Amino acid sequence: MPTSQQSTGRAWGNASQVIGKTVAATLKGVQKEVAQRTYRASNELRSASLRVLRGQRSGKKYRVPNTSRSYTASAPGEPPAVRTGAFRLSWGAHVHVEKKDTRFRAVAAIESRERAGGRLLGEMLENGTGRMKPRPYKQAVINMALPKVKAIYKKPYKGG
């Protein structure tokens, strides 16, 4: 016949298992929700990049290579002008979520692999080159996306 102390010990053991499983399920649910929100945040960044990298600029007029069309280039300090649209449409979402114990680290980003002369076009435009002054656009993209990204992460988490 089990003693009262053994029954209490078993009850605490069972309660501990139930609590442990509940916490694990909740953390798994939160991790899934963090990943989903991070993907939505990266989509907001991509949408903002499409908005920042559109519109008329105030630089010189040039002819689009191998066409009869012309375009107005960006002036130094303006976001890059759309010449062919390849750079503007080259941005893809990048999502990374890490879980360490009960903490999560989520990275929502966008990246372009578009190259010109063997170098990343985005970096050349953002920072300039020896022959071209910078056409910054990254901070404008972040500033445009930030309110929506904050709203995405501020909503209450449901968990498991």
Digit-coded pLDDT (tens) for 54-64: 999 999 999 98
Backbone φ and ψ of 45, nearest 5°: -60, -45
Residues forming a β-bridge with 72: 61
Structure tokens at 7: 């029954």
Q: Under a CB-based contact definition with an 8 Å cutoff, are residues 96 and 111 in contact?
A: no
Residues forming a β-bridge with 96: 107
Cα(111)–Cα(81) distance, integer angstroms: 18
Number of domains forming the structure of the chain: 1
pLDDT at 11: 67
In a domain, 67, yes or no: no
- Domain of residue 105, residue span: 7-55+92-154
Task: Give, to the nearest 10 degrees, the angle between helix 4-52 and helix 138-154.
Answer: 150
DSSP calls for 106-139: EEEEEEE--EETTEEHHHHHHH--SSS-----HH
In a domain, 128, yes or no: yes
Is the per-residue pLDDT at 159 higher than 70?
no
In a domain, 148, yes or no: yes
In a domain, 68, yes or no: no
Tell me the average pLDDT across 20-40.
91
pLDDT at 2: 59
- Residue 133: name the closest of 80, 88, 70 by CA: 80
pLDDT tens, residue by residue, 84-141: 899 999 999 999 998 888 788 999 999 999 999 999 999 999 999 999 999 999 999 9
